[in-house]
Structure formats: C-alpha cells, structure tokens
Structure 1
Amino acid sequence: MALKLRLKPCERVVINGCVVQNENRRYTLTVSNFAQIIRGSDIMQEEEADTPVRRAYFVIQSMLLDPHAAGGYSDVITGMMAGIYTALANPDMQGRILQAMQHVSERDYYKALATLRPVLAYEDTVLPDSAALRRPARDAAASAPSQLGG
C-alpha cells in the first residue's frame, strides 16, 4: 500500500536519510514501497532530549535518520527502554513502551516514534519541571548518535 505525504509549502521531510524540501505550494508525494520517513516537524533537536523518554525518542530518531548506524544502538535503546518501562507505573504507558520496542525490533522506527509520543506527553505530566531533574542533552549524547544536519 502506497503512502501519500501531503506536504505544506516549504515543508521538509527526510526519506531514507535524504532531506527533501517542498517548494512554495502544497504537494502530494506518493511513496510506493517501505522507506524510513520522518517529517521535519517531528524531528527532535538534541538539546530537547532532556528527559528519559525524550532521550529514547532521540536515539530512535537517530536510528531512523542513519539506518546504517542503527544496529550499533540496539543495546543502548533496549537498556533505555527497559529503564523507562520499570519507572512507569501506568500500564497503558508500559504497553506503549513494549509496542515501541516491537517496532524498533522490526526496524519500523517511525512507528516506534509515533508510539512514544503519548508517553512523551505523559512524562511531561508526571516529571516536575525542574532543571535539577532534567539532564542536559549533551550528557545523553555521549551514548546517542549525532544528529544529521538538514
């Protein structure tokens, strides 16, 4: 089944690591086979990865953006997600963590990211907005891949 991407004017999308930018009007792009795709608006910047779930999202996003390096991060993301699963007391959110890991194991990184978005929102409601609890992204970057430019 083909995927239809409806792009807004000047919107960016990354397809298999290649940044594609639309021109000044709406455009529909049809992708006929499986590809690693993420909209520019869904890309998290490294400095935003300042909580456990955000760091996991960032690592999975990096796996999507650089599939050749993705295998090197499977142990990292497995450990991160196991820690998040254990820390969450909400069964629905734990289920989403398991679903996200299933998608990662299938190398369907976009679905893993989409599955984590409600967990990001949940984390924001339970994690106090305290600078002491939010670790700077550069500390997480030591174990996460660097981001592709674009």
Structure 2
Amino acid sequence: MTSSFKIHLRPNERIYINGAVVRVDRRVSLEFLNNVTFLLETHVMQEADATTPTRQLYFVVQSMIIDPATAPLAQKLFVSSMLVLRKTVTDAAILNGLDEVELLVESGRSFDALKAIRGLISLEDEILRQQPDDGLLEREQEAEIA
C-alpha cells in the first residue's frame, strides 16, 4: 500500500491532477490516498516563458504531466530536445543534469525531472549572464518595434 500525500492550496490556486485542472475557492487541504500525477500552479511555466533551451525542455516535461493524453507526443519532443541540447551544450554541470533528467523521465518520475530542470535553468541563466552583450537582443527588440 502506498502512503498518503497531503498538499495545501490557497484560495483561487489551481492544481493539475491527472490532466484535470482544479481551482479551489478557499484554503483547502487535499490528501492523495494513491499514486497520482499532479502539478501545482506555481510550478507551471507558460509557453511564452519557454525562451531558452532548458526552459523549453521544462515546458515539454510539464506537458507530459498536465495533459496525459498528449504525453506520447510530448515524449517525442522530449527525445528530440535532449538530442539538440546534448549537441549544443558544453557545460559539464548541465550535461550531467541532462543525464539525470533523462533517467527520471524514463523511469516515470516527471515531477522529479521538473525539479532537476529548474536547477539547470539556474545554471543556464548564470551562463547567459556571463556572455558578453553584443547588442543582438537590443537590435532584435528595435526590429520588432519598427
């Protein structure tokens, strides 16, 4: 028998449970008595925020959890995203993290994979901050305005 798991939600908070979106109207505690796939609203990344390779990987894994009906397609995207990341990333810590993420996803532990990817996002952000600003982003923004 599996042990129960309890979570606490605030008013108007959403939770994604086995593909269903649930919003509570008051403070509530939920106790899951069996295995369940869920994602708290605070861990959900919007598509518009998936702006870097690791954020895109997070979005793909998140999709596996939120919408189990499309999980096979998300799994294919995951595999192709991992291939691209492994070809383009040179940072050893990120590459090691990708190994961990892949093992977690393959073993059905997508929620744990999201936690690992959040750590990779922090590493990626640090790498991006260290890169010299060549004005490319600024020129792209000017082109969008024009």
- Tell me the TM-score range normalised by the shorter chain: 0.7 to 0.9
Say whether the 8 Å CA contact 1:63–1:73 is kept in structure 2: yes
Counterpart check, 1:53 vs 2:54:
yes
- Specify which structure has the higher proportion of helix: 2
CA distance in 1, matches of 2:97, 2:68: 23
CA distance in 1, matches of 2:90, 2:9: 36
Secondary structure of 1:23 counterpart: coil
CA distance in 2, matches of 1:2, 1:94: 35
* 1:55-87 Cα deviation digits (max 9, x unpaired): 111111111111122112323212212332440
- Equivalent position of 1:19 in the other structure: 21
- Equivalent position of 1:142 in the other structure: none
- Equivalent position of 1:105 in the other structure: 106
- Equivalent position of 2:9 in the other structure: 7
CA distance in 1, matches of 2:8, 2:96: 30
State which structure, 1 or 2, has the greater radius of gyration over its C-alpha atoms.
2
Say whether the 8 Å CA contact 2:17–2:37 is kept in structure 1: yes
Higher relative contact order (CA 8 A, sep 6+): 1
Say whether the 8 Å CA contact 2:63–2:74 is kept in structure 1: no
Question: Counterparts in 2 of 1:24-39, with a 5 A limit?
Answer: 24-25=26-27, 27-39=28-40
Q: Tell which deviates more after alignment, 41-50 or 66-75.
A: 66-75
Q: Tell which deviates more after alignment, 54-63 or 66-75.
A: 66-75
Unaligned runs of 5+ in 1: 135-150
Unaligned runs of 5+ in 2: 141-146
TM-fit CA distance, 1:35: 1.5
Paired letter, 1:46: E
- Equivalent position of 1:131 in the other structure: 137
Superposition misfits of 4+ residues, deviation over 6 angstroms: none
Paired letter, 2:120: V
**What is the aligned residue count?**
131
Say whether the 8 Å CA contact 1:36–1:108 is kept in structure 2: no
- Equivalent position of 2:115 in the other structure: 114
Secondary structure of 2:21 counterpart: strand
TM-score when scaled to structure 1? 0.77
